[in-house]
Amino acid sequence: MVGRIWAIALNTFREAARIRVLYGIVVLVLGANLLAVVLGQMSIHEEQRVARDIGLAGISLFGSLTAIFLGVFLLYTEVQRRTIHAIVSKPIERWEFVVGKYVGMAVVLTILVAMFAVAMILMLAWQQVGVSGEIVRALVLAWVEVLTVAAIAIFFSSFSTPFLSGIFALAMWALGRVTPDIEAAIKTGSGWIRATAHVALEIVPDIHLFSPSGRVVEGALVSVNGDFITWGYVGLASLHGLGWIVGLLAFACVLFHRRDFA
């Protein structure tokens, strides 16, 4: 089982590594880091915080967009180009194929996040900011966010077209980023707003957990810059992400299992 999943993962990695858009995204992230330096210089005594926040936001944003892009295309193109015919006719279960695709994507995304992180650390070093524990924890959270978003994209891609999968995944990610606002809508809204907000909260992962800067917790505004983001928090947030990844992949496997490859 592991051998077959790894074979698919390795092949997915090879395929993804050839997608030129990814190289464009790396350039964009490098650009975001340069922008962070420039904006930092423009701020008043906030150079380090601005540089750090923009750097982390760049990883989160571009990492998630890359995850959606890879997730909606890599599974779909297997079916569309019929490359899957020569694969699932071999002794591999369909769920092994889906998991293999996800693992391959996860490896690619992990390498990308690592590259983004190195770019950010270099940028911070230039700003004379050392790599603190808070930054490492924030990077781990960004990485888990990207892997969760990849699972969302794979889930939609298991039954839909890239366009619709992209829209759905983007919507789910965007909603997941604003869960505190949805919670606020439940408290302050009425009627259909409250009902819709309740439903939204139930069906989206709490992606905001992975970018906690600016979140109000127990009446206090917390930030990645503060001490609130402990390893315990990172562990719990990662467990939340892992739960969603496992759940979404399980649904994707069930849906993929039922498909005809005509």
Partner 1 sequence: MTDTVIDVRDLRKTYRTPFRRKKVEALNGVTFEVKRGHIFGFVGPNGAGKTTTIRTLMGLIRPTGGTATILGHAIPSRAARYKVGFLPESPYFYDYLTIAELLDLAGRLFGMSRDARRKRADELIERVGLGRARGQSLKKFSKGMLQRAGLAQALMNDPEVVVLDEPTSGLDPIGRKEVRDLILELRDHGKTVFFSSHILTDIEAIADQVAIIARGQLQALGTPAELVKRTVLGIDVTVRIAADAAIDELVAGASHVRRTGDELALTLATDADVDAWLVAARERGAKVIAVEPRHETLEDLFMREIAGAA
Binding piece for partner 1, criterion CB under 8 A, among 81-89, 174-182, 185-193, 202-210: 81-89
Taking the complex as a whole, how short is the minimal distance between the CB of residue 86 and partner 1, in angstroms?
6
Q: Which stretch binds partner 1 (CB under 8 A): 1-9, 41-49, 199-207, 239-247?
A: 1-9
Using the rule CB under 8 A, is 3 a contact of partner 1?
Answer: yes
Q: Is 163 in the site for partner 1 (CB under 8 A)?
A: no
Cβ closer to partner 1: 6 or 228?
6
Query: What are the C-alpha distances in Å from 17 to residues 142, 151, 242?
Result: 21, 19, 25
CA within 13 Å, CB half, 244: 26
Closest C-alpha to 78, from 163, 169, 168, 154: 154
User: What minimum distance in Å lies between the beta carbon of 181 and partner 1?
Assistant: 37
Q: Return d(Cα 101, Cα 205) in angstroms, integer.
A: 21
DSSP track, 69-114 = HHHHHHHHHHHHTTTTHHHHTSS--HHHHHHHHHHHHHHHHHHHHH
Tokens of 244: 């969603």
Minimum CB separation from partner 1 for residue 78, in Å? 9
Please pick, from the candidates 21, 46, 82, 247, the single residue that binds partner 1 as defined by CB under 8 A. Answer: 82
Q: Could you tell me which stretch among 76-84, 165-173, 182-190, 208-216 binds partner 1 (CB under 8 A)?
A: 76-84
Minimum CB distance to partner 1 smaller for 16 or for 54 = 16
From candidates 202, 218, 227, 260, binder to partner 1 by CB under 8 A: 260
Name residues contacting partner 1, limited to 84-103 (CB under 8 A): 85-93
- Contact between 196 and 184 under an 8 Å Cβ cutoff? The reply is no
Does residue number 44 form part of the binding site for partner 1 (CB under 8 A)?
A: no
DSSP characters over 99-158: HHHHHHHHHHHHHHHHHHHHHHHHHHHHTT----HHHHHHHHHHHHHHHHHHHHHHHHHT
Contact positions toward partner 1, by CB under 8 A?
Answer: 3-4, 6-7, 11, 14-15, 18, 81-83, 85-93, 258, 260-262
